[in-house]
Amino acid sequence: MSYFQGKTVWLTGASSGIGLAMAEQLASAGAHLILTSRRAEVLEQVRQQLAHPERHQILALDLNQPEHAAAQAQAALGDQVIDILINNAGVSQRSLILDTDLKVYRQLMEIDYFAVIALTKLVLPRMVERRAGHIVTVSSVAGKVGTKLRSGYNGAKFGVIGFMDSLRAEMTSHGLVVTSILPGFINTQVAHNSLTGDGSALGHADPDNAGGISAAECAKRSLAAIAKQKAEVVVGSGVSKLAPWLQRFAPGLVRRMVANR
């Protein structure tokens, strides 16, 4: 993937799952990485295991507080050139609307929506000035198709796809590339870390994600799409990959399917 050779890539959610797999593949492709997640000690462990660890830096941020995180990032990065921003950090949900506290909806929006906007706006002026840069956000098939137990997650992911569509429309004239990645079911810890109705973590897998493609395969396909500068790509297999297509051409069928799951 020569597209990434020598480029500085800021990657959020880099300590596990799809983000960790992306970090490993990007480092092997010759990128210079800025690795972000909440815990500095975990990021340092990740950095040390990557190819050419001396090329990479860590930047621990709590994206549950987007404004504060952006201010911290600005102070740490200064005028450093960012070639590619990959907004990958996120949290999912497993709870019924009737059982979900409002604070949980706010937390989902802070991490999955507002943090994307905050970090994007941080790097955007310099990219526009240089007329070069690539903004990537890992959204979800859940940003196209609403399902049970994910109302807040669906809302945030629908919202972030709309934001990215607007960003793409506005940035085309500035020479920037904007890519939305929509994973389907991926075999990661996403279900374990999903928020329940009171905000606590679910703590166990669910059959949907457990039966999905690996994080490494998802990262490989996602990075290939980024390198090709695609606007939007669905990554997955089976029903989760077909769902956005079915939503567009057979919405009634999709409504029946999700109601009966």
User: pLDDT exceeding 70 applies to what percent of the chain?
Assistant: 100
Residue 3 bears catalytic tag:
no
Residue 181 or 208, more confident: 181
Residues 6+ apart with CB under 8 A from 160: 112, 113, 116, 137, 139, 143
State the amino acid at position 191 in one-letter form. Answer: A
Cβ atoms within 10 Å of 145's Cβ, excluding its own: 25
CATH annotation of 2-260: 3.40.50.720
Which residue, among 206, 105, 121, 200, has the nearest Cα to 159 in the 3D structure?
105
Per-residue model confidence (pLDDT) at position 206? 80
pLDDT of residue 198: 96
**1 against 67, higher pLDDT:** 67
Q: Read off the pLDDT of residues 78-90 as tens digits, 9 standing for 90 and up.
A: 999 999 999 999 9
What the block records as the tokens of 76 is 């740490």
pLDDT digits (tens, 9 = 90+) for 116-164: 999 999 999 999 999 999 999 999 999 999 999 999 999 999 999 999 9
- Using left for φ > 0, alpha for ψ between -120 and 50, and beta otherwise, residue 27 falls in alpha
Among candidate residues 168, 167, 146, 142, the one with its CA nearest the CA of residue 157: 142
